[in-house]
Chains A and B, each alone.
Chain A
Amino acid sequence: MKAAEFDYARPATVEEVCCLLDGATGDGKIIAGGQTLVPLLVMRLARPTLVIDINRIETLQGVDANDGGITIKAATRQADVLADTGVHQRLPLLTKGLRLVGHPQTRNRGTIGGSLANADPAAEICLVARTLDAEITVRSSKATRRIAMRDFCAGAMTTALEPEECLTDVRFPLWRDAGRIGTGFTEMSVRQSDFALVAAACQLVLDKDGVCRRIALGIGGAEASPVRAASAEKRLAGTRLEAGDIDKAMDELQAALSPLGDVHASADYRRRVAGALAARVIAEARDEAKAAA
């Protein structure tokens, strides 16, 4: 299990990365943490001619809080974001999701951008980004563009990234709504550190009367990309998120899903579990918001 031959470059700037990608004419591949890419390389399922290492580009490191959002640079380690108290306080859903990403050793090496760029259907970071309507910044030698998460994941392990583009950061908008925010994240994986068969994420706002004023509910692992449960969100907004409210919304969620079946679980299984996990994270987020009072 040895990778096919490739050339390696370790540029110091994003500009150089873009230049190298252009020169590789579609056969360049960026490596950050390598936790997804290296297995693909050694199994020869990915065969770039040039591997471009962005681990030492300073402008791709770190977490910035700015104008209503938190921006995480692409090559920031998952473990560093998990340990970031600012993220924990202001973006708790991401912290909850990160706890379930792989295990300590992969989080020490794996990056936020790497997880997004690989777009595994079950990836926790992709699910949180989708749920919170994060925005991805990508650069090429010609342009910088921003892509909404809803447009970024284009299928299993497929994204809107063009071959000559480099993902530079992801920006999570912070909710400024009046009221109390609560979050919930859970997943079902066969073993604890496996990829999830289904994952669910929720962030919501309760007003002082306990009425849900805003809710974002995302499901990962069920379809080829993480999805938002738009119809369920609509049904839940304005309710007190009582059990009956959640049950009805879950019916809608399950009807709207088109899950995949595989050797680990059938499509029906994923649909049922998506509904159950969604109900759990809504309740978790609701109770957290109430407790924050």
Chain B
Amino acid sequence: MSQHDISLTVNGRAYRGTVPARLTLVDFLRDHLRLTGTHTGCEHGVCGACSILFDGKPMRSCLIFAVQADGATITTVEGLAPDPAGLSVLQDCFWETHALQCGFCTPGMLIAAQALLNRNRAPTDEEIRDAIGGNLCRCTGYKQIIDAIKLAASRLQGANAPVGQTNGATHG
């Protein structure tokens, strides 16, 4: 079994590690870096719960070996917010529309949606469904997720649009 030294950037921070060849990227993120926001639902590339941004593009981290990520720049759900205490516009919109229930698919769904909004600030419903079509959610029926992405798109389009909250958020 070969062991490999890798270095990569995750959520803006440089990491080094030594990994066996067979370790998947999602297991590296979760078990070695303890970034447990990225989830595993099927480990065979169907459910999308493990979605991450790999060099800016959304991909399945269960279908990439950690050793292959040597030198890569990765964003996980923990890296979406502008600061650790805050929320991105998209995350805030997920909260606003209650675009989740159990929260298990949510990190992957946020990654897929963020990738869409990064390249398309005015997506149609069909484009939204295409973007999240590879992310399975068993709780929501997708409706409030699509609503959240549309809301985020409209907020991102609006200059100086306030990121409003309907009530305070003192206890997470």
| Chains A, B in direct contact (C-beta < 8 Å) | yes
Binding site for B on A (CB under 8 A): 1-8, 10, 31, 33-35, 38-39, 41-43, 51, 53, 55, 79, 102-106, 108-109, 192-193
Q: Are A38 and B21 in contact, with the CB atoms below 8 A?
A: no
Interface membership of B67, Cβ < 8 A: yes
Which of B73-81, B85-93, B128-136, B149-157 participates in binding chain A? B128-136
A55 CA to B4 CA, complexed, in Å: 17
Of B48, B60, B64, B67, the residue contacting A8 (CB under 8 A) is B67
A3 CA to B58 CA, complexed, in Å: 23
Known contacts A108-B57, A108-B58; A38 and B63 CB within 8 A of each other: yes
Nearest CB in chain A: distance from B105 CB, A: 13
Q: Which residue of A lies closest to B27 (CB)?
A: A2
Interface membership of B147, Cβ < 8 A: no
Nearest CB in chain B: distance from A114 CB, A: 11
A79 CA to B58 CA, complexed, in Å: 11
Known contacts A51-B21, A53-B68; A106 and B134 CB within 8 A of each other: yes
9 A-B residue pairs with CB within 8 Å: A4-B22, A7-B1, A7-B2, A38-B24, A42-B44, A53-B68, A104-B134, A108-B57, A109-B63
Q: Which residues in B have their C-beta under 8 angstroms from that of A31?
A: 65, 68
Interface membership of B43, Cβ < 8 A: yes
Interface membership of B112, Cβ < 8 A: yes
Counted as pairs of residues, one from A and one from B, with CB atoms less than 8 Å apart, the total is 91
Q: Which residues in A have their C-beta under 8 angstroms from that of B43?
A: 1, 42
Known contacts A2-B22, A39-B45; A109 and B60 CB within 8 A of each other: yes
A133 CA to B48 CA, complexed, in Å: 35
A133 CA to B101 CA, complexed, in Å: 49
Count of chain B residues with a beta carbon within 8 Å of a chain A beta carbon: 30
Q: Which residue of A lies closest to B116 (CB)?
A: A104
Q: Are B4 and A8 in contact, with the CB atoms below 8 A?
A: yes
A34 CA to B22 CA, complexed, in Å: 13
Q: Which residues in B have their C-beta under 8 angstroms from that of A8?
A: 2, 4, 21, 65, 67
B110-131 contacts to A (CB < 8 Å): 112, 115, 130-131
- Other than the given A5-B1, A108-B54, 17 more pairs (CB < 8 A) read A3-B22, A3-B24, A5-B20, A31-B65, A35-B60, A38-B45, A38-B63, A39-B45, A42-B43, A102-B134, A103-B134, A104-B58, A105-B112, A106-B45, A106-B60, A108-B57, A109-B54
A79 CA to B56 CA, complexed, in Å: 13
Q: Which residues in A have their C-beta under 8 angstroms from that of B54?
A: 108-109
Interface membership of B59, Cβ < 8 A: yes
Q: Which residues in B have their C-beta under 8 angstroms from that of A53?
A: 67-68
A109 CA to B60 CA, complexed, in Å: 8
Map CB proximity to A onto B1-30 as digits: 1 under 8 Å, 0 otherwise.
110100000000000000011101001000
Q: Which residues in B have their C-beta under 8 angstroms from that of A106?
A: 45, 60, 63, 134
Of A42, A43, A102, A104, the residue contacting B131 (CB under 8 A) is A104
A109 CA to B44 CA, complexed, in Å: 14
B27-63 contacts to A (CB < 8 Å): 27, 43-45, 48, 51, 54, 57-60, 62-63
Nearest CB in chain B: distance from A243 CB, A: 30
Nearest CB in chain B: distance from A135 CB, A: 29
Q: Which residues in B have their C-beta under 8 angstroms from that of A10?
A: 67-68
Nearest CB in chain B: distance from A254 CB, A: 31
Q: Which residue of A lies closest to B44 (CB)?
A: A39
Q: Which residues in B have their C-beta under 8 angstroms from that of A3?
A: 22, 24
Q: Which residues in B have their C-beta under 8 angstroms from that of A105?
A: 48, 51, 58-60, 112, 134
Q: Are A192 and B133 in contact, with the CB atoms below 8 A?
A: yes
A97 CA to B153 CA, complexed, in Å: 29
Q: Which residue of B lies closest to A34 (CB)?
A: B63
Q: Which residue of B lies closest to A41 (CB)?
A: B22
